[in-house]
Amino acid sequence: MDSEFLAEYVHGRHTVREYFDRFIREPLIEAAFADCSAEFRSRCTSRLWMAFAQLDAIPRSDPFWAGSNLRTTFGKVCDHQRLTPPEDSDVEGSWASFVIALCSGDCDVFRNASEVLLRGGRIGVGNFLRTSLNLRDVSGWDTDELAASLLLRLELGTEARTTLDDIIEHGSTDRSMWATKVLQRVARALSTDDLMDRTKRALEGRGLDLCEHFVMCCGELEGPAPGRVFAQFAKNLADGDRRGDFSLAEFEAAYQRLLSRGLLTAISSEDLAQNSTWPTGRNNYHVGDIVLSEAGYLLHTEVVREIFGSRFSPKRFSGIARQR
């Protein structure tokens, strides 16, 4: 807003409505409603105008105006909102808080107001997501965690997928990356139980347990190492996996079971002398190192493909290929 207009406004030469009409055309406000429908933007600006009008109606003798120029501005609307936050049951007040927070970049107020509106069915998931993304541009703060956590708390993760997919497909690279991060956060939380079920089915059908699966995942990385070190590598790789947690002793027992089944193998001196299938430059193998056998690789490929489906693209086996 240009300084000449503001000076004239402060001296009473323009109305509050004239100030408001200029304010909502500011670039930052345009950014707050980017990619939102005209209907939604109109609804929000109507709520914002109500907040302006309500503040302007407060008598100038009220302590709120003390020490000011007595003119209604967006800054004073924000101040008044902070001094008089709405109750959770006040949907109309939450609408005003939502719009003011969006236009001012107040992430905490935006989160709280959005929850009230989403719970009450007053705002759709699509509009919530688009304004959460826009809030990032207005505030300068990352908002993907804010959006994902609220969707999960209100059990709206599945419903959000259509909007997120649309932003990913049609948005700019930057906006697409934001939607991808939200989707990943939501998907990780929603898919934990499903992932555990798919893992259990894939392993039980092949006589494997989860700790053995983690050991074979380590073998897939083709990081050969002596037995105890190999077990430690497997534990390090699996630590933090939500499907289960095991001690080093359990990993050591698991790799021994896989060795006895021929799904892992220990490199021999004959392997070092005769095997010609290893990739060029593979010189870190030593006698006694543990690796996936060819049978182990084939079984592990079946397991991972069943768990992750089309997202898994197996690579060609390049380990120990003994003559049959």
DSSP string, 5-18: HHHHHHTTSS-HHH
**Same domain membership, residue 258 and residue 167:** no
- Are 110 and 98 in contact by the 8 Å Cβ rule? The answer is yes
Give a yes or no: residue 261 inside a domain: yes
Q: Which of 159, 192, 225 is the C-terminal boundary of a domain?
A: 192
- pLDDT of 283 strictly over 60: no
Give a yes or no: residue 140 inside a domain: yes
Give the pLDDT score at 278.
53
- pLDDT of 118 strictly over 90: yes
Token readout for 98 is: 């939502």
Q: Which pLDDT band, with edges at 50, 70 and 90, does 69 fall under?
A: very high
Task: Determine the Cα–Cα distance for residues 301 and 312; give it in Å rounded to an integer.
Answer: 9
Give a yes or no: residue 198 inside a domain: no
**Same domain membership, residue 32 and residue 153:** yes
What integer is the mean pLDDT of 109-119?
A: 94
Task: Determine the Cα–Cα distance for residues 228 and 233; give it in Å rounded to an integer.
Answer: 9
What integer is the mean pLDDT of 256-277?
A: 82
- pLDDT of 274 strictly over 80: no
**Same domain membership, residue 179 and residue 277:** no
What integer is the mean pLDDT of 9-22?
A: 94
Task: Determine the Cα–Cα distance for residues 15 and 9; give it in Å rounded to an integer.
Answer: 7
Give the pLDDT score at 223.
64
**Same domain membership, residue 217 and residue 138:** no
**Same domain membership, residue 265 and residue 149:** no
Residue type, 73: T
Coil, strand or helix at 217: helix
Give a yes or no: residue 197 inside a domain: no
Give the pLDDT score at 92.
86
**Same domain membership, residue 222 and residue 182:** no
Give a yes or no: residue 231 inside a domain: yes
**Same domain membership, residue 132 and residue 43:** yes
Task: Determine the Cα–Cα distance for residues 192 and 148; give it in Å rounded to an integer.
Answer: 15
Give the pLDDT score at 107.
96
What is the rounded average pLDDT for all residues in the chain? 87
List the CATH number of the domain containing 303. Answer: 1.10.10
What integer is the mean pLDDT of 111-121?
A: 93
The model's pLDDT over 168-200, given as tens digits with 9 standing for 90+, comes to 888 889 999 999 999 888 877 766 667 788 889
**Same domain membership, residue 231 and residue 165:** no
- Are 189 and 160 in contact by the 8 Å Cβ rule? The answer is no
**Same domain membership, residue 298 and residue 188:** no
Give 79-145 as a DSSP string. Answer: HHHHHSPPPTT-HHHHHHHHHHHHHHT-HHHHHHHHHHHHHTTSS-HHHHHHHHHHHHHHH-S--HH
Q: Which of 192, 221, 239 is the C-terminal boundary of a domain?
A: 192
Give the pLDDT score at 287.
82
Give a yes or no: residue 290 inside a domain: yes
Name the nearest CA neighbour of 171 among 28, 37, 34, 44: 34
- Are 113 and 98 in contact by the 8 Å Cβ rule? The answer is yes
- pLDDT of 314 strictly over 80: no
Q: What is the DSSP letter of 311?
A: G
Residue 59's φ and ψ, nearest 5 degrees, are -55, 140
Token readout for 186 is: 């939501």
Q: What is the DSSP letter of 25?
A: T
Give the pLDDT score at 281.
46
Q: How many domains would you assign to the chain? A: 2
29-43, 65-79, 151-165, 307-321: least confident range? 307-321
Give a yes or no: residue 220 inside a domain: yes
48-62, 75-89, 243-257, 279-293: least confident range? 279-293
CA distances from 36 to 33, 133, 287 (A): 5, 11, 64
Q: Which of 136, 160, 192 is the C-terminal boundary of a domain?
A: 192
**Same domain membership, residue 185 and residue 125:** yes
Domain of residue 215, residue span: 205-311
**Same domain membership, residue 150 and residue 36:** yes
The model's pLDDT over 210-228, given as tens digits with 9 standing for 90+, comes to 999 999 988 776 567 887 8
**Same domain membership, residue 168 and residue 279:** no
Give 148-203 as a DSSP string. Answer: HHHHHHTT-HHHHHHHHHHHHHHS-HHHHHHHHHHHHHHHHHHHHHHHHHHHHHHH
How many Cβ atoms sit within 10 Å of the Cβ of residue 307? 19
Residue type, 308: F
Give a yes or no: residue 167 inside a domain: yes
What integer is the mean pLDDT of 276-295?
A: 69
Q: For 139, what's the count of Cα atoms within 13 Å in the CB-facing half-sphere?
A: 21
